[in-house]
Structure 1
Amino acid sequence: MAGEDGTIFGYTHQSDHFTADALPGREEAEQVAVEFLTSIDPAFADGLTVQWINQHDETITGPDNTTVTVSGMKVKTRHDSGLYTWVIVGAGNQIVTYERDITWNSDHSRRQTAMWLHDAWVTARDNSGEELGGMNAPLNS
């Protein structure tokens, strides 16, 4: 997803070849994430501070309707503006997911920013899917 000014706000490439047995270490994941962030917006990357790095797993449905776990090392950062950005680095140091300018709602212990990279959220928002609850429910500002 990109903004009107060309800013890239998010990207995801979830594939079954991103497995837990091929993850980079924390230092390598951080290096790859910083290089990626710097390559797309050097000025923005200068304002980021790493908060934590941990394994992150997502469950997706494969082409044959089987459940697949996509694994990566999530490098979560906070920008000087107070917004969060993260990069998930998978096997072969490939970028699995990138999200930028995420607002965190501390009162609800979850993100407040729309989950526009998540199919269930997009489908619900477009009124063609089930209403989401819990962590996936949109919050009003």
Structure 2
Amino acid sequence: MTTATLAAQPVATAVSAFLPAGHIEIARGPVTVDGERAELVRYRRSDGRNAALGGEHFSTVIAENGRLKGFTRMDLDLVGGQLPSRKETQAIAMDFLRAAAPDLLPALEISWIEPHDEPLRATRNGRTEDLTLTGMKVKMRNKADGRWMWVIVGTDRKVLVFERDIVWVTFPGHRKTEKWLHDAWLAENGVSLL
């Protein structure tokens, strides 16, 4: 990473505000996001619980210019539980954007707010299980550049996933932007972080 990225204190502050307690950095490396250089950093629980690919982790992608492109917080403790209402989800998402990505606020348009599932592989009571971590997703479009962004809020009323500047291919209807925060995509593409 460049000195500009290393000096990006607002991003470091934003990331540290969402980094769960008891997590340690285990991998860091350069990646490319829509042709631009960035850095992927992965953290796991310090006790090693469910640390394998597909398990519990906190990961970030930060662009070379220091912009937080996204993060994900996969946590077994958030499986199940009561989801926030759409109104509560929207309020949490807007508060998050004001703090972590205020540049997106003037041109965002909310597309929808709905439950969203993420896979989580975890060992509980000596058995490995494929579980579903559900949050409330606020999907938004940046009217200034046509790219997409979303904030997913967990049952603990905190942000589980944030991604921005996502290029979407309308036909046949799929994401073009690399999925560096998604373990299934990492596995499909032979990326090893562990």
Is TM (by shorter chain) over 0.5? yes
The AA in structure 2 aligned to 1:31 is: A
Instruction: Give how far 1:96 is off.
Output: 0.8
The AA in structure 2 aligned to 1:67 is: D
Percent of paired sites with the same residue: 35
The AA in structure 2 aligned to 1:83 is: R
The AA in structure 1 aligned to 2:67 is: T
Pairing 1:76-95 to 2, within 5 Å after superposition:
76-80=139-143, 81-95=145-159
**Residue 62 (structure 1) aligned with residue 122 (structure 2):** yes
The AA in structure 2 aligned to 1:17 is: D
CA offset digits 1:19-46 (Å, max 9, x no partner): 4431000010011001101111212222
- Quote the residue 2:187 is aligned against: 123
The AA in structure 2 aligned to 1:119 is: D
Q: How many residues align?
A: 128
**Aligned partners of 1:104 and 1:20: how far apart in 2?**
30
- Say which structure is richer in strand: 2
CA offset digits 1:87-111 (Å, max 9, x no partner): 0001121111111011110112111
CA offset digits 1:51-94 (Å, max 9, x no partner): 10000111210145212210100000000210000000011211
* Contact 1:104/1:113, CA 8 A, preserved across alignment: yes
The AA in structure 1 aligned to 2:130 is: T
* Contact 1:78/1:84, CA 8 A, preserved across alignment: yes
- Quote the residue 1:31 is aligned against: 91
Larger deviation, residues 68-77 vs 37-46: 37-46
Instruction: Give how far 1:122 is off.
Output: 2.1
Q: Describe the shift of the 1:59–1:122 C-alpha distance in structure 2 as closer, same or farther (beyond 3 A).
A: closer
Q: Describe the shift of the 1:76–1:127 C-alpha distance in structure 2 as closer, same or farther (beyond 3 A).
A: closer
Normalising by structure 1, we get a TM-score of 0.83
**Residue 13 (structure 1) aligned with residue 76 (structure 2):** no
Q: Which one of the candidate residues 141, 160, 165 is aligned to 1:96?
A: 160
* Contact 1:17/1:70, CA 8 A, preserved across alignment: no
Normalising by structure 2, we get a TM-score of 0.61
Structure 1 residue matching 2:68: 3-state secondary structure:
coil
Q: Describe the shift of the 1:121–1:99 C-alpha distance in structure 2 as closer, same or farther (beyond 3 A).
A: same
Q: Which structure would you say has the larger Rg?
A: 2
* Contact 1:77/1:85, CA 8 A, preserved across alignment: yes
Structure 2 residue matching 1:113: 3-state secondary structure:
coil
Q: Supply the RMSD in Å over aligned alpha carbons.
A: 1.6
Structure 1 residue matching 2:62: 3-state secondary structure:
coil
Runs of 4+ that moved beyond 6 A: none
The AA in structure 2 aligned to 1:113 is: T
**Aligned partners of 1:121 and 1:90: how far apart in 2?**
22
**Residue 110 (structure 1) aligned with residue 179 (structure 2):** no
